[in-house]
Structure 1
Amino acid sequence: MIPVTSTYRLQLREDVTFDAATGFLPHLAALGISHLYLSPIFAAQAGSTHGYDVIDANVIDPVLGGEAGFERLAAAAASHGIGIIIDIVPNHMAFSLQTPWLRDVLRHGQDSAYARHFDINWSDKLVLPFLTESFADALSSGQVGIGQAEDGPVMTVGDGLAIPIAPGKVTADLDALHAAQAWRLTRWERERDSITHRRFFNVTGLIGMRVEDEQVFDDMHAKTFDLIDRGLVQGLRLDHIDGLADPGGYLRRLQARVGNCPIWVEKILTGDEVLPDWGLAGTTGYEAARKLAQVLTDSQGHARIVSDWRAATGKMGSFHDAIQTAKHEVLRQELAAEMLDLIDLGHRATQADAREQGGEALREAVIALLIAFPRYRPYFCQTFQRPEDLALMDKVTTEAAADLRNGAVVQQLAGFITAPGTDAARAFQVRFQQVTGALLAKSHEDTAGFRWNAYLAANEVGADPDAATITANGMQDWLATRQGSALTLTSSHDTKRSEDARMRLVAISHLPDDFAALVDRVAGLDGAGVACANDRWYLTQVALAIWGEDDLDQRLHDHVVKALREGKTITNWIYPDTEAENRVLSLIPKLTADWAAARPAALMRLIARGEVLSLIQTALKLTMPGVPDIYRGCEGPHFALTDPDNRLPVDLDALMALTEASGFAGQKARLTHAMLRARRDDPAFWDGAAVQFAATGAGFVLTRVGEGGRVTVTCDPNGADLGAGTLMKEALPGLRVDFSPE
């Protein structure tokens, strides 16, 4: 098996097919990449831009080139000495009429062979919130009819819907026909609180899968196992592991089946949380991106920026306070269905426990526990309790009970979570652990992270703006315990800012006066007062983050619309207020015209400092323990905001020519090439080398010492000329990389 020394993440779709991926292989081989890391390859909904809305987990998507195309890619990769890692989605599939298993469930209800595959509450009909009006109104207006599809008769609604109906149930009475089905059509707005399937976060169009069931597990992974058995796939990346009923049990079963095929999980670690002992290769690496941003942030400059932001906006409290506020909103809005489901499960559990509670007491207790839970989830199961989870639940229970008149219900529900004694309590335990992650993600990443705009470099997946910095000693402690096979990412398809854009934002902590000058300049633009100070602060940072990019105005426009709707302060996704949005958007062309004409010295200095920090980040990433993961295009400069901006096409020919480029582009490309090849050429050294991270007068030094050599990365964020190193044989601003025999 090829040693995993680095990975290169390619986003398939949007014209990136298996044949297009094959075109990258010579470049990746020259770059020193050991493994090509692909976004989901299985059949997804028509027009999918990402592939996570899988409709058939056992068919390789024809849009990408089908199985034959994947086989060609795998063979070509092997010929270049490159392995393949695929991204699989065990948690959910598309809640779509294009999903064959779901169509069978719609037709046959609980008699379907796939009824247990989907996480559906069969105490009611399966709710389909597909209509723009009530079913009764659609019926009375003549929009409902009967049709015929390849797999049998269907009920049609308008021009777009054709839903399978039960065999033998066809009747001219369309209202009675609808009532006879295992499903019930409703207006789309009912998805907020009336759905009967477990979804991914608040995305009703994705339905949870019950992979804890052995048959479902086998059916969901049949093609994945076939690809591994045939030697076409050499690694797995698992999407959203925290959504599963029993992540640990699932992973044990998966590892037993795939043997020594390495597995990485998308797991967001918060605070001092560590990955459970699941015997994995590691996480996908968001915690590494967080640590790199922390150690490169200047603590004094950061404090100045936050102080200035508070003065400008009047915002008080902490980011934690902002999350708690967002949790209350998200739980009652986007996740109301999950909240109501948990309350119902809690009621059933208290009945089975012979200590039935009142509805309001249950509602208060469920909400209090969810709000108090600080991580994505604990990992309680029927057979195992981790001491750290028990300690965490004790703390959460105390906090949740503190603001209630009677904490007895909280204590009772917490007991169901830690040690369920009945099937009803076990059902509450499972669902509580699935909801905590959705609530934190929607409250932190997708709400508070777009409201708390002081320092966007810390508003990242899994990061904490209340802990935006780390000392050299803290960094050393973290590096010393880091799993060597874990991925180290700095950009991904899900990061809020790409790595180089983030370093421009880190630069404002080094040059707070220059950032203050930019903020004041934006505030002085004609008509700037139509946007609040917090929104102007946000716009200034994102403009800095991608300044100089093509289609700048349009990209800023699209991103700011998303940011405002995610923040949910003046607008939102469900009921957008375009008039309020346009007031903020009107500043974009004024800002870009002003900066383009004046080329403010403060802007130029921040950009230059961002380049220095980007080079340091790249060197640290490629030297520290862990497997470097390069997001497509990030071997060179990459300035992007959150998706879909970070999924725009990349130019392979331009990437291949980067090592000959001048300036920052060439420096980053040559640094990346040199260090990736060093890792590929001597994997044993990098696997075993001890790590030392220490502060110097001007910056930091990271050293790896192992059998056969010593690598030293000397960093000065001020950009001093440290001279050419022996591994990277050119002078880079603020950076020197040396390799010496030991």
Structure 2
Amino acid sequence: MGAAENGANAAKVEELLGALAEALARGEGVTPRPASTYRLQLHAGFGFDAAAALVPYLDALGVSDLYLSPVLASAPGSTHGYDVVDHARLDPELGGEEGYARLAAACRARGMGILLDYVPNHMGIGPWNAWWMDLLENGPSSVHAPAFDVDWTPLKSELANKVLVPVLGDQFGRVLERGELRLAREGGALAIRYFDHVFPVAPRSVPLVLRHGIERLREALGPEDPSLQELESICASLEKLAPRSETRPEAVAERAREKEVAKRRLAALCDASPAVRAFVDENVAAFNGTPGDPRSFDLLQRLLDAQAYRLAFWRVAGEEINYRRFFDVNALAALRMEEPRVFAEAHRRVLALLRDGAATGLRIDHPDGLYAPAAYFRRLQACYLAERARALAQARGTALENGAEALLLERLFAELEAGRLPARPLYVVAEKVLAAGERLPEGWDVDGTTGYELLAAVNGLFVDPAAERALDALYARVAGGRQDYRRTVEEKKRQVMSSSMASEINMLAHRLSRISETDRRTRDFTLNELTRALVEYVALFPVYRTYVTRRGEVDARDRAYVEATIARARRRSPLVDPSIYDFLRDVFLQRYPDGLPEAARGAWLEFALKLQQVTGPVTAKAVEDTAFYCYVRLVSLNEVGSDPGRFGTSADALHALLAERRARFPGSLSASSTHDTKRSEDVRARISALSEIPGELRAAVSRWGRVNRAHVRRLEGRTAPDRRDEYLLYQTLLGTFPDGGLTPGTPAHAEYVERIQAYMEKALREAKIHTSWTHPDEDYEGGVRAFVAGALASRTFLRDLGALAERAARAGRISSLAQVALKLAAPGIPDVYQGTELWDLSLVDPDNRRPVDWAHRARALEAIQAELARGPEARRALARRLSAPDALAGGEAKLLLLAEGLRLRRRERALLLEGDHRPLAAEGPQAGHVVAFARTLGGRAVACAVPRLVVRLQDQGGGAPRWEGRLPLGGLAARWVDVVTGTVHRGEAPALAELFADFPVALLASE
């Protein structure tokens, strides 16, 4: 490109940047922050058109933005969409491009936005994923090899330039000799089939099949036959292809082109020549061998050995797999989003939706899995602005050439870095789990998180801290001794690192060993010593990951975590040479010794970047998918983002969190139930209420142990269930027991038993104590299934269970309303999970993805709106009627509160998105049972007051809390209106009895 052309491009880009800056200053192109979101789980049975049909109902509910599970093409039959197989297409099973266009139009017609769940960290792999199939066919020489995080030089030399694919149901030799691996011809391509799996045959190995016994064909046709010559020519062209270790771009492109030419030629030859077709198909049959004749499979093994993949027994994945996965899920391969071309290809379709207004924001799934999250979010914002700039250029009739495109993106990065453009023009929230006391990294160009930290804090408000000792004693009795949660997490991290993620740890340890060998002061560290130190470090690391940058920068936050963890590991490992931990610390914090060569510094940095991609998955598997099912003191605390070792949340701690949220990330979602929560908000609230009656819980657990003893199965040296699993079951039943009870022999009873059995099976396997996903123990699982069925068939047990469950539910319903009110008024954006506008007693997925009765909810909302339309007195009467103790079980009170709160969010959008957070303190003997705060902006105010720990108050009031005391409102307004009841409150300190007279919670707006 000449200097003149460069100059013209630069001038064009600068002009475009000026126009973009002016548009952004007018608010054009800055995606609006939602007032609220409503999450829908899409799948083949509930796609885009079904979602569009709900838009009128959700609009009437007050929702501002639809929040959709992943919409890009996923593996056929996917029920969640996180196994994306094609970033360029909208999922045809959901309705494809046309269906999505109808949904977007329905939302646009009602002024609603669409928040999309986007998955950058990984893809679903299989025959539907063209990128993955190309990788398997061509190895490092694949056009798409840069997309996947594959270690092409792994510890096992036999896997050099190969991908380990652990899909076989048995040892490789047994599978092969049973004839389960079959070679097949599909047109001009050869493939290996294993039941539903398909694996391409590497181009350079195809001649092994085509040339096998070719003398027969030569004798039959004669050496001058054109068909024979074409076949030999095809073989020669394939043999001349660059080897799969070749990664030069021009060689990769030539290989990709020529292999497809050869496939077309072979297909045409087989169509044109019956003799060649018969010869090739006979060879295919010969390669497939004969079961019972082991030597007949030698040909197929030789062919398989020549591939860019190695098929293996699925159980070897934990130790030998050499592609990075999503956690330990073999079917989800991690992507290298740090590569600009990979990023561009993976985001092209979703950025076009955002550019065209068919989507208005993104929820980014699992950014902790990314190589460099901060850089990813900066690139996402820059590429979004690039799309806006292209749209401006098109409107002006200006064309951007390739050189100008690259320059535009470069300049956008610079403008964002310098702060001359809005830092977050695109609304983005990150699914980031924050440990207790952890803050979201400063350098992320996001509006906030998906809200796990708020969920955990609000959830803890309804746990009585005074009950901790009593529940500790009860849990010690059922668990057979005291169990420390932090030690449990450390133990489970070690378990994960020695099993499902052993390969990742082995890879890191060998990297560290190679680094140690480069310095005479560290070369005597043995591999075993380094591995032990690494495992200890990861086991003790207190958060999911650090964020060392690709430039080797380590911020103060991460430095403090690393230093503290190294110090603790050193204390815990008296037999390990302390200097090993000093070495590990220095490598991670990039403290290079004098004279370290540049290449060695690169190895240090690469180790640090790889290590922080491993600590997150290890922690997630050990905590959310293991420890949460092993440590069951009070399982309402076992929630994503929570620390079950911390017994509840104080009001002061909640206010501190809300104040920081308002100051730093007010665009965060305020979630209470999500597709990832272990229990719904309503189940958690009911279980938390048990903390207020620990004596009753202890007595009930003792009674039920005696009543159900006959259902316990005696196994060799143990019982099924053991006492801890039985205690988990009782908490689960108390949290999910249907309002109105159960009658054995009815369909509802059978469905409930099946749900609980399915949950317990998942819980047992996740705990990995008596059984697991990889090694199921049918005897133990069968014993627990029988126990659940036997216990729930007993009318005596059901009556006793139902009585305590209803006692917990009465308090839990009040707590659930309080959670809704808090998230409606708190800094952040209230997020509603599908169906939870009424009571929802769901457990972890797939239980929380059961079909929702939308018609029932729509009818209930219409009835409420009809009553509200009758005027103020009807409004107040409706609120009283729906929230009366006997009527609360219906759930319409929750729907009423949510609908009125969401409408308030629409009316007071700026106030509730940007307003200050002011804690309010109640006065009087019940002050500790009230949490309250106000939001203020420009002379307007909204106040929220909710009860907590209400069991004793209900007992004293004969079912409904009896209130004493007042709530000073800080002189913010002289007159307030309760948005639910319509009640007008005057004065600066209304009585609590007045605030909660007509409804269990108060959501007030100043007049």
TM-score after normalising by structure 2: 0.71
Alignment match, 2:527: 359
- C-alpha separation in 1, matches of 2:203 and 2:101: 40
CA drift at 1:699: 2.3
CA drift at 1:51: 0.8
Are positions 1:130 and 2:167 aligned together?
yes
The one-letter amino acid paired with 1:613 is S
Residue 471 of structure 1: which of 650, 659, 666 is its match? 650
Indicate the percent of aligned positions where both proteins have the same amino acid.
32
CA drift at 1:82: 0.5
Q: Secondary structure at the match of 1:691?
A: strand
Are positions 1:241 and 2:364 aligned together?
no
The one-letter amino acid paired with 1:720 is P
Are positions 1:669 and 2:895 aligned together?
yes
CA drift at 1:683: 0.7
- C-alpha separation in 2, matches of 1:675 and 1:247: 34
Greater shift in the superposed pair: 393-402 or 704-713: 704-713
CA drift at 1:23: 1.1
Alignment match, 1:393: 562
Alignment match, 1:379: 547
Residue 935 of structure 2: which of 704, 712, 717 is its match? 704
* Contact kept in structure 2, 1:705 and 1:711, CA below 8 Å: yes
1:10-89 mapped onto 2 (5 Å cutoff): 10-89=40-119
Alignment match, 1:269: 434
Are positions 1:727 and 2:979 aligned together?
yes
Gaps in structure 2 of 5+ consecutive residues? 1-30, 154-159, 210-298, 386-424, 593-599, 713-718, 740-747, 865-881, 951-959, 965-975, 983-996
* Contact kept in structure 1, 2:39 and 2:832, CA below 8 Å: yes
Aligned residues: 740
CA drift at 1:422: 2.3
CA separation of 1:149 and 1:348: change in aligned 2, threshold 3 A: farther
Q: Which has the higher contact order (CA 8 A, sep 6+)?
A: 1
The one-letter amino acid paired with 1:428 is F
Residue 199 of structure 1: which of 322, 325, 335 is its match? 325
Residue 255 of structure 1: which of 381, 385, 393 is its match? 381
* Contact kept in structure 2, 1:487 and 1:629, CA below 8 Å: yes
CA drift at 1:726: 2.0
Q: Secondary structure at the match of 2:906?
A: helix
* Contact kept in structure 2, 1:472 and 1:695, CA below 8 Å: no
The one-letter amino acid paired with 1:376 is Y
Greater shift in the superposed pair: 712-721 or 724-733: 724-733
CA drift at 1:456: 0.5
Are positions 1:715 and 2:946 aligned together?
yes
Residue 453 of structure 2: which of 270, 287, 305 is its match? 287
- Superposed CA deviations along residues 422-447 of structure 1, whole A, max 9, x for unmatched, are 23222211221011111111111111
The structure with the greater share of residues assigned to helix is: 2
Residue 726 of structure 2: which of 536, 540, 546 is its match? 536
* Contact kept in structure 2, 1:445 and 1:460, CA below 8 Å: yes
Greater shift in the superposed pair: 714-723 or 22-31: 714-723
Are positions 1:498 and 2:666 aligned together?
no
CA separation of 1:352 and 1:55: change in aligned 2, threshold 3 A: farther
The one-letter amino acid paired with 1:689 is G
CA separation of 1:455 and 1:151: change in aligned 2, threshold 3 A: farther
Are positions 1:461 and 2:640 aligned together?
yes
CA drift at 1:18: 0.2
**Which protein shows a greater Rg?**
2
Alignment match, 1:405: 576
Gaps in structure 1 of 5+ consecutive residues? none
- Superposed CA deviations along residues 570-595 of structure 1, whole A, max 9, x for unmatched, are 11111111211222232323433444
CA drift at 1:317: 4.1
Q: Secondary structure at the match of 1:93?
A: strand
Greater shift in the superposed pair: 511-520 or 222-231: 511-520
Alignment match, 1:369: 537
Alignment match, 1:334: 500
Alignment match, 1:417: 588
- Superposed CA deviations along residues 325-381 of structure 1, whole A, max 9, x for unmatched, are 111111111211111111122223223456333111111121111112111100011
- C-alpha separation in 1, matches of 2:930 and 2:429: 32
- C-alpha separation in 1, matches of 2:921 and 2:468: 18
* Contact kept in structure 1, 2:458 and 2:649, CA below 8 Å: no
The one-letter amino acid paired with 2:197 is L
Alignment match, 1:616: 818
- C-alpha separation in 2, matches of 1:194 and 1:40: 31
Greater shift in the superposed pair: 511-520 or 446-455: 511-520
CA separation of 1:166 and 1:600: change in aligned 2, threshold 3 A: closer
The one-letter amino acid paired with 2:47 is T
Are positions 1:219 and 2:345 aligned together?
yes
Q: Secondary structure at the match of 1:446?
A: helix
Are positions 1:581 and 2:781 aligned together?
yes
- C-alpha separation in 1, matches of 2:999 and 2:787: 35
* Contact kept in structure 1, 2:44 and 2:94, CA below 8 Å: no
The one-letter amino acid paired with 2:312 is T
- C-alpha separation in 1, matches of 2:305 and 2:802: 67
- Superposed CA deviations along residues 369-421 of structure 1, whole A, max 9, x for unmatched, are 11121111000113322111011111111112221420222222222222175
Greater shift in the superposed pair: 598-607 or 80-89: 598-607
- C-alpha separation in 2, matches of 1:692 and 1:51: 40
Q: Secondary structure at the match of 1:113?
A: coil
The one-letter amino acid paired with 1:480 is A
- Superposed CA deviations along residues 290-319 of structure 1, whole A, max 9, x for unmatched, are 000112211113442222222333331421
CA separation of 1:77 and 1:555: change in aligned 2, threshold 3 A: same
- C-alpha separation in 1, matches of 2:790 and 2:963: 40
Q: Secondary structure at the match of 2:320?
A: coil
CA separation of 1:443 and 1:497: change in aligned 2, threshold 3 A: same
Alignment match, 1:441: 620
- C-alpha separation in 1, matches of 2:350 and 2:80: 18
* Contact kept in structure 1, 2:42 and 2:80, CA below 8 Å: yes
The one-letter amino acid paired with 1:653 is A
Greater shift in the superposed pair: 103-112 or 728-737: 728-737
Alignment match, 2:176: 139
Greater shift in the superposed pair: 596-605 or 474-483: 596-605
Are positions 1:678 and 2:904 aligned together?
yes
Alignment match, 1:169: 205
- C-alpha separation in 2, matches of 1:338 and 1:138: 27
* Contact kept in structure 2, 1:565 and 1:571, CA below 8 Å: yes
The one-letter amino acid paired with 1:287 is E
Q: Secondary structure at the match of 1:37?
A: strand
- C-alpha separation in 1, matches of 2:197 and 2:41: 31
CA separation of 1:669 and 1:133: change in aligned 2, threshold 3 A: same
* Contact kept in structure 2, 1:685 and 1:706, CA below 8 Å: yes
- C-alpha separation in 2, matches of 1:268 and 1:644: 21
- Superposed CA deviations along residues 557-612 of structure 1, whole A, max 9, x for unmatched, are 00001101111111111111121122223232343344444565332211111111
Are positions 1:480 and 2:516 aligned together?
no
CA separation of 1:706 and 1:180: change in aligned 2, threshold 3 A: same
The one-letter amino acid paired with 1:395 is A
The one-letter amino acid paired with 2:466 is Q
CA drift at 1:725: 6.3
